């Protein structure tokens, strides 16, 4: 579930660097999450959720 949310947020953000910057994490850490090399922290999931929710509000 966390990985899917990051993927949705990545589609909205446009690229890995933009989303990693928004999450305030190094790009390599973000890439580790996306490749499932490291578990995705709850805080990162919540930022991704906010990105997706913000996009949904714009569509309504």
Q: What is the pLDDT of residues 7-48, one digit of tens each?
A: 999 999 999 999 999 999 999 999 999 999 999 999 999 999
What per-residue confidence (pLDDT) applies to 55? Answer: 75
What per-residue confidence (pLDDT) applies to 21? Answer: 96
Number of domains in the chain: 1
If one compares 56 and 20, the residue with the highest pLDDT of the two is 20
What per-residue confidence (pLDDT) applies to 1? Answer: 87
With CA atoms as reference, report the closest residue to 12 among 1, 25, 22: 22
With CA atoms as reference, report the closest residue to 9 among 20, 19, 17, 24: 19
The distance in angstroms from the start CA to the end CA of the chain is: 24
Domain encompassing residue 37: 2-59
pTM: 0.87
């Amino acid at each position: 579930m966390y990985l899917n949310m990051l993927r949705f947020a990545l589609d909205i953000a446009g690229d890995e660097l933009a989303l990693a910057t928004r999450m305030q994490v190094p790009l390599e850490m973000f890439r580790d999450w996306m490749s499932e090399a490291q578990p995705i922290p709850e805080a990162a999931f919540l930022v991704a959720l906010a990105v997706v929710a913000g996009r949904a509000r714009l569509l309504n």
